[in-house]
Amino acid sequence: MNGKVAIITGADSGIGRSAAILLPRKARISAIVYLDEHEDAEKALAESKNWPPRHPILRDLAGAGFLRGVVQRTINAFGHIDILVNNAGEQGEVSGVEDLEPEHVEKIFRTNIFGFFYLTKATLRI
């Protein structure tokens, strides 16, 4: 995996954080994308800071334009993308479906479905 270039989403916790800590031992991390969990993301970066270089942390898994920008910055910096850890996910605790507000459902879909789709599509276009 030496020299491979990766983008990781949801890198502030769980599987994404583990990937952000462990992958740099073997690959160059281009972007670590996360939403509003700055302290958690900084901890993950601190744990991996002695590994090979990576490009800036990009915050917010948003719309298609933002994600195309993540891919383009990676291509500009490294010329290619080898690994996509498409791990970002939105969730929340509610006691039942009747407690889900439309805004929350939309946010879940924007992150878990649309974000996954747009980033995959942008990466495959290269």
pLDDT in tens, 56-90: 455 556 667 788 888 888 888 888 899 899 888 88
β-bridge pairing 58-59 and 27-34:
parallel
Q: How high is the pLDDT of residue 74? A: 85
Q: What is the dihedral of CA 104, 108, 114, 119, to 10 degrees?
A: 130
In what side-by-side order are the strands of the sheet with 83-85?
58-59, 27-34, 4-9, 83-85
Domains and CATH numbers, the chain: 4-124 (3.40.50.720)
Q: Which two tokens stand for residue 91?
A: 């969730």
Rounded to the nearest integer, the mean pLDDT of the chain is 79
